[in-house]
Homo-oligomer: A and B are copies of this chain.
Amino acid sequence: MANPVLVEVTRGNIVESTHRGSVIVADADGRSVLEIGDVDRIIFPRSAVKAIQALPFVESGAADAFGFGQREIAFTGASHSGEPKHATLAAEMLDRAGLSPGALECGAHWPMGQQAALDLARQGKVPMALHNNCSGKHAGFLCTCQHLRIDYKGYVSAGHPLQEMVRDTMESVTGAPHSIESCGIDGCSIPTYSVQQRKLAQGFARMATGVGLGPKRAEAAKGVLEACMAEPYYVAGTGMLDTKLMEAAAGRIMIKMGAESVYCGAIPELGLGIAIKCDDGTVRASEVMVAAVLAKLMADDAELAGKMTEFANPVMRNWNGIEVGRLRPTQALA
């Protein structure tokens, strides 16, 4: 059974392309309030679970020990656009832990934000690992290693004590097995584990409510989500949807994209977690999906729901600024 079409791309009066996917919104006990498509399938959450991967950084005491606040905590859960402020913060965090950018094992790539990439080129520079969209997460990993006096070399490998901590945390929060058979390598070289989509939503509901996490982890989870909501620029960047969504929701929604069109997030006031996967891996489609789901979940707040509906129905313009089409959620998401 194919997942339903959740997003249509129009040109003129015609549907030009379509995107299928699955959506689940669930509470901390795994009871779903919204289910579309096959949410029992396993998916790679990729960067959408960075908030969970950031827990050891807080729980180990590393964040406190180095004097980090919400900005740095949010940044360890970021896929950032590689703007100067992002690269600088990554370098500062490393410096605080007595490390240089050379310790980063995420690899270098041109900033994800086009403007940031062009600005860097204009200055005659080349990208460094600091510009990697995952450099905040990696800075957090390295700070955790330093704080715990673990040799950080090879910290990206599945067998490294740091990655074992991250894996155990993921497994415990989501309740889903994270086995070596289900493991792939992520863009930034750390292990990424494929898990049941349903469990990701439940995991984020646990992050939001603390249910089933124990008091210490519950506090850390609350801290990470609050940090992301307080510093949305440091979770993504200028013009990035995640930043816009969290800014619009002003502390009420935590949301995070992952590569290959995944979204995870939480709405603490509702005690709900969200997990979305567009089958084909296209970012534009998962962005429409998440905005449409948030509009639905926040329906009681007409103004906020209205903003989310706008994000769910972006206009596509060509190089002359002429409207050529739109993205829109289908009836299945409405």
Contact = CB atoms under 8 A, between A and B. Distances in A.
Interface of A: 2, 9, 11-14, 16-20, 42-44, 105-110, 114, 117-119, 121-122, 124, 132, 181-189, 192, 194, 260-261, 279-282, 285, 318-322, 324-325
A279 B17 contact: yes
B109 A319 contact: yes
Q: What is the count of identical protomers in the complex? A: 2
9 contacts: A14-B42, A19-B280, A106-B319, A107-B320, A108-B319, A110-B118, A132-B319, A187-B319, A188-B318
Contacts of A118: 110, 117-118, 121
Nearest to A279: B18
A184 to B, nearest CB: 3
B280 A18 contact: yes
B184 A17 contact: no
Contact of A13 (B181, B279, B319, B325): B181
A110 B105 contact: no
Contact of A318 (B44, B187, B320, B324): B187
Contacts of A43: 16
In this complex, which of A12, A124, A325 has the most chain B Cβ atoms within 10 angstroms of its Cβ?
A: A12
A176 to B, nearest CB: 14
A167 to B, nearest CB: 14
B12 A183 contact: yes
A132 B320 CA distance: 11
A174 to B, nearest CB: 16
A282 B11 CA distance: 16
A317 to B, nearest CB: 10
Given A19-B280, A117-B118, A118-B118, A185 B110 contact: no
Query: Lowest 4 CB-CB distances: which A-B pairs, in order?
Result: A107-B319, A12-B184, A17-B281, A11-B184
Given A122-B124, A319-B132, A17 B280 contact: yes
A188 B318 CA distance: 7
Nearest to A321: B107
A279 B261 CA distance: 16
Given A11-B44, A109-B319, A281 B121 contact: no
Contacts of A322: 185, 189
A267 to B, nearest CB: 26
Given A11-B185, A188-B318, 6 more contacts: A9-B281, A12-B194, A13-B184, A17-B281, A118-B118, A184-B324
A89 B22 CA distance: 47
A166 B182 CA distance: 53
B107 A186 contact: no
A320 B105 contact: yes
Contacts of A188: 318-319
A105 to B, nearest CB: 7
A312 B107 CA distance: 27
